[in-house]
A = this chain, B = another copy of it.
Amino acid sequence: MTIKPLADRVLVLPAPAEEKTIGGIIIPDSAKEKPLKGQVIAIGNGTKDEEMVVKPGDTVLYGKYAGTEIELDGEKYLIMRQSDILAIL
């Protein structure tokens, strides 16, 4: 898959929500929290005001409402601005 985010955008593959069990009971999928962790897949060239500091392969933390969801080849990604990324793990 070749995709080039524009400007200061970053394509992120969200990490699957961690399954939590309480007393052996697996919480079903709909009750899981939306993932806040993901892997950088592709980055833009940055802008005059925003130099890119994340790199493909980085694991990043981002806010719950960051980015736009897009589907590519049956996989769900997020495309967000670098300024929506809180930290690199």
Q: Which residues of A contact B (CB under 8 A)?
A: 2-7, 9, 11, 36, 42, 45, 48-49, 53-54, 61, 63, 68, 70, 79, 82-83, 85-89
Contact = CB atoms under 8 A, between A and B. Distances in A.
B3 A88 contact: yes
Report the copy number of this chain in the oligomer: 7
A68 B86 contact: yes
Contacts of A45: 53
Counting from the closest, the 4 A-B pairs by CB-CB distance are: A4-B88, A5-B87, A79-B86, A3-B87
Contact of A11 (B3, B5, B70, B87): B87
A53 B8 CA distance: 13
A42 B89 CA distance: 12
